[in-house]
């Protein structure tokens, strides 16, 4: 009984301080560690994370209570695009693959906006993604649909206790920055501040521009909750659908596929077979007809010096291991 109470209290504490007691908690053993010990990988659902995750989904139903306005929908779409860019260009192409360079301030901005998407901190995200590329679609892969099934690859792995801790040894290049460590440890701060800001925006618009037909609660539900849930599943499709549906241009060791639809909803991440073939590039749409909004934005930012050294796709990579012309 005492052990159960301790686990429950720690789960609540870790909503606010995700690093609390992690180093000394044997129940947070990683799937990687279990596999290296030749032990079966056991799923241990982290109910302390499941409850708020499900609550966020249920909160979407409040759209029927708060009503609709075009301005609330516009904020929802705008925050979806902004934060999706921070996830795809920041968390993925920058923190996970170092596909371009930016200043320390630019790095911090990408981290803050990405963290506001409520997909954990930049170090946690990058560490798990680097692990995924090392073991893609192998038994050690934490979110492979071929190993654990579609549902697990889409969302189950996020709620597994074995994937909770940030594996700092995989992100030594970025874990040296104290501001990134703070954002990663206190990963609830950025989304909470965004939620409050969106609510206050709605309150202000209700007072100053009542003709827009919005208010604080409507803006919170549409601008933050609905937008965040859409972001969750948009991002998760890359782990699940992009290993199941689509076409393959390159003979990679995994089941990664290219999909225009996934590229559309993720600003370019759907060219997943391209990416697994050559993950170092800042662009995932290798050809002009492959829709890659994140890369277009990075190119625009490079023209004004906010990012630089965008790594291209070399010709030798385009020609290697092709299974379609």
Each residue's pLDDT tens digit, 133-172: 999 999 999 999 998 899 999 999 988 988 888 999 999 9
Q: Would you tell me how many other CB atoms lie within 10 Å of the CB of residue 320?
A: 12
Residue 41 has pLDDT above 70, yes or no: no
How far apart CA 158 and CA 250 sit, in angstroms, is 28
Structure confidence at residue 48 as a pLDDT band (50, 70, 90)? confident
pTM score > 0.75 for this model? yes
- pLDDT recorded at residue 315: 94
Of 38-42, 54-58, 194-198, give the lowest mean pLDDT range. 38-42
Each residue's pLDDT tens digit, 69-125: 999 999 999 999 999 999 999 999 999 999 999 999 999 999 999 999 999 999 999
Q: Which of 126, 161, 185 is nearest to 33 (CA)?
A: 161
How far apart CA 268 and CA 295 sit, in angstroms, is 8
Residue 203 has pLDDT above 90, yes or no: yes
- pLDDT recorded at residue 37: 35
Contact 213, 62 (CB under 8 A): no
Each residue's pLDDT tens digit, 273-315: 999 999 999 999 999 999 999 999 999 999 999 999 999 999 9
156 DSSP 8-state letter: G
Q: Which residues contact 182 (CB under 8 A, 6 or more apart)?
A: none
- pLDDT recorded at residue 47: 77
């Amino acid at each position: 009984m005492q052990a159960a109470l301790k686990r429950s209290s720690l789960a609540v504490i870790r909503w606010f301080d995700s690093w609390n007691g992690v180093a000394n908690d044997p129940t947070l053993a990683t799937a990687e560690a279990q596999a290296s010990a030749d032990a079966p990988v056991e799923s241990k659902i982290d109910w302390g994370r499941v409850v708020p995750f499900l609550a966020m989904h249920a909160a979407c139903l409040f759209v029927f209570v708060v009503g609709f306005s075009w301005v609330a929908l516009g904020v929802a779409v705008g925050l979806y695009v902004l934060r999706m860019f921070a996830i795809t260009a920041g968390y993925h192409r920058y923190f996970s693959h170092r596909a371009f360079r930016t200043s320390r301030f630019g790095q911090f901005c990408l981290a803050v906006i990405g963290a506001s998407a409520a997909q954990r901190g930049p170090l946690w995200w990058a560490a798990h993604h680097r692990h995924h590329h090392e073991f893609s679609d192998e038994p050690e892969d934490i979110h492979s649909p071929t190993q654990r099934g579609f549902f697990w690859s889409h969302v189950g792995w996020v709620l597994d206790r074995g994937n909770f801790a940030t594996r700092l040894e995989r992100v030594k290049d970025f874990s040296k920055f104290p501001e990134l460590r703070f954002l990663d440890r206190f990963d609830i701060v950025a989304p909470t501040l965004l939620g409050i800001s969106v609510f206050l925006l709605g309150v202000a618009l209700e007072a100053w521009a009542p003709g827009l037909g919005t208010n604080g609660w409507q803006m919170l539900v549409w601008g933050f909750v609905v937008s965040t849930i859409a972001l969750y599943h948009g991002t998760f499709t890359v782990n699940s659908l992009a290993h199941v549906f689509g076409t393959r241009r390159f003979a990679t060791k995994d089941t990664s596929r290219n999909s225009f639809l996934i590229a559309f909803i993720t600003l370019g991440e759907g060219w997943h077979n391209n990416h697994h073939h050559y993950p170092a590039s800042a662009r995932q749409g290798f050809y002009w007809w492959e829709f890659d909004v994140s890369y277009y934005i990075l190119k625009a930012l490079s023209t004004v010096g906010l990012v630089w050294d965008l790594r291209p796709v070399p010709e030798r990579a385009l020609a290697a291991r092709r299974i379609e012309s």
